[in-house]
Structure 1
Amino acid sequence: MPQLTAITRFPVKGLGPDPLTTVPLRANHTLPMDRAFAIENGPSPFDAAAPGHVKKKHFLMLAGQAELARLICRYTEFDGRYTVSLDGSTSIAVTLDDADTHQPLFDCLQELVGDAIRGPLRLVHAPDQAMTDIPQPQISLINAASVRDLSTKVGQSLDPVRFRGNLLVDGLSPWEEFELVGQEVRIGGVKCRVESRIRRCAATSVHPGKGERDIDVPAALFEHYGHMDCGLYLTVLEDGEIALGERLNPIAAPH
């Protein structure tokens, strides 16, 4: 029976994972604090007076700045503190919703990615709008068996974290998750609808932790499977809480 083996959010787009053991979900919302903030890389169309979704090319992101994967990041829920360390160095801490605290983070990023900085950096946030790759308020799910199957094909162990999914499920057959598209499922007690497969980009080619591109994952997917998809987008249909170890169960369609 497929089981939830990891829950992960990425409070700042392009930066490191924040693992969870349990999380509340809300209908028609993304995972709480997932890509809630993004780092504007020079001027962008983002309008703080009317905040909304902006294409990822305007932000620092793994697809463009692989070095970001070297950062170890943690978010503290109760006080909104976000800590970042580079290669085990002393951590710096900022409060995500307090612009007066952000400069140490920007200095760290300047040191890390250098010439990739196109202009002034700014942390931006749009309430109720995650800065994910899509504008729809969805969560993402990865099948651990599919990642293992791809690892076997390429002769290299691939950490599922490189696919930056919110939920990792084990217990399905490789690529069986694609059969769920269009169906409703329960994760624990929370009902979700499986919307689509996720087409992968260059961000998945970055080794988590090393901050370098070690394998062309989209090309490997196409070579071995004839597509560049790994994972699913889901819409949360009802409020509820999920936790590690809970099961994923397809909901049988009525006859």
Structure 2
Amino acid sequence: MAEVTALYRYPVKGLSAEPLPALTLARASGLAFDREYALALGTTAFDPQNPEPLDKGYFLMLRSNEVLAALSTRFDPETGQLTITRGGEPLLTEDLTHPEGREAVERFFEAYVGPAAKGRPRLVQARDHKFTDGSVISPAFMRAVSLINLASVRALEERTGETIHPLRFRANIYVDGLEPWAEMDWIDREVTIGSPRLRGLARTPRCAAVDVNPETAERDTHLPKALKRHFGHVDLGIYLEVLADGAVAVGDRMAVAA
């Protein structure tokens, strides 16, 4: 039987994953503090009072800014503090609930990313809005959580002969104990993981962001091309819509409706 092996959230789009022992999911809002913030490029217009979903190309992201992977970040929802380190060395700790803290974060990334930031990036947030890649598709996709079947990652490793770090795929839920690619058949089927009920929305297509090594920040693979060459598609993982509130914990079992 399949089992949850790891859980993550990504408070700031494009920045590092935060491992958690459990995730609380809500039908109305998805996963709290997941892609809650984003760093809009200096040329991006985004109105927090009237947020409109934008393609990820309007923000700092791994597909274009692999230097982000060299940073480790931690966000504390209770204090609003974002901490940034590199190689264990503290670089910045700022309170995102205050304008001065947000400005300090923006100036840090303006200097760190350089011309690719297209000016000073803006740390953006909006009520009831998430900066997920699926946000441009529908509200359901905006609030969806993502899942990776580790057996599918191993199947790709076998075909490419490369070791592939699962965090390249930046999912919320990682499971093991399934057949490779079993998740591809979950579209419109109900999935239970821990207490919440979910529904398969769509397979997750992969872009060049997954070619960035999360440990070295180097672009050292061509995984979308490898997926297409070996399996006839560029998908790995699945988006899940939350149907009922509940919590998922590491070690929880999962079941898929027939």
* TM superposition score normalised by structure 2: 0.93
RMSD: 1.4
1:173 aligns with 2:179: yes
Amino acid in the other structure paired with 1:128 = D
Specify the alignment match of 1:97 in structure 2.
Answer: 97
The secondary structure found in structure 2 opposite 1:141 is strand
**Distance in 2 separating the partners of 1:18 and 1:238:** 24
Alpha-carbon separation, structure 2, partners of 1:74 and 1:87: 14
Conserved? CA contact 1:28–1:138, under 8 Å: no
Q: What is the aligned partner in structure 1 of residue 224 from structure 2? A: 218
Q: Find the counterpart in structure 1 of residue 43 from structure 2.
A: 43
Aligned counterpart, 1:145: 151
Residues 116-154 of structure 1 show CA distances to partners (whole Å, capped at 9, x for unaligned) of 120221110122221011112211000011111111211
Structure 1 unaligned blocks of 5 or more: none
Partner amino acid, structure 2, of 1:94: E
Deviates more, 1:202-211 or 1:106-115: 106-115
Aligned counterparts, 1:1-255, within 5 A: 1-135=1-135, 136=141, 137-252=143-258
Q: TM-score, normalised by structure 1?
A: 0.94
Are the counterparts in 2 of residues 40 and 123 from structure 1 also a CA contact under 8 Å?
A: yes
* Structure 2: distance between partners of 1:118 and 1:81: 25
Cα distance in 1 for partners of 2:183, 2:167 equals: 17
Counterpart code for 2:227: L
CA contact (8 A) 2:107 2:120 kept: no
Q: Please give the alpha-carbon distance, in whole angstroms, between the structure 2 residues aligned to 1:41 and 1:147.
A: 32
Question: What is the letter of the counterpart of residue 70 of structure 1?
Answer: A
**Counterpart code for 1:73:** T
Distance 2:107 2:129 in 1: 27
Structure 1 counterpart SS, 2:133: coil
Which amino acid in structure 2 is aligned with residue 237 of structure 1? L
Q: Please report how far the alpha carbon of residue 28 of structure 1 lies from its aligned counterpart in structure 2 after TM superposition.
A: 4.0
Secondary structure, aligned partner of 2:105: helix
Question: Which has the higher mean CA deviation after the structures are superposed, 147-156 or 196-205?
Answer: 147-156
- Over the matched positions of the two proteins, sequence identity in percent amounts to 39
Using the alignment, how far apart are the partners of 2:72 and 2:236 within structure 1? Answer: 25
CA displacement 1:164-188 (0-9 Å, x = unmatched): 0010011101111112122001011
Q: Distance in 1 between matches of 2:109 and 2:192?
A: 40
Take 1:220 and 1:71, find their aligned partners in 2: how far apart are those partners? 27
Verify the 8 A CA contact 2:147 2:175 in the aligned structure 1. Answer: yes
Q: Please report how far the alpha carbon of residue 55 of structure 1 lies from its aligned counterpart in structure 2 after TM superposition.
A: 1.6
Separation in structure 2 between the aligned mates of residue 28 and residue 197 of structure 1, nearest angstrom: 22
Shift of residue 91 of structure 1? 3.5
What amino acid maps onto 2:17 in structure 1?
P
Q: How many Å separate the matches in 2 of 1:213 and 1:44?
A: 25
Q: Distance in 1 between matches of 2:97 and 2:228?
A: 40
CA apart distance, 1:65: 0.3
Unaligned runs of 5+ in 2: 136-140
Partners of 2:240 and 2:30 in 1: how far apart? 9
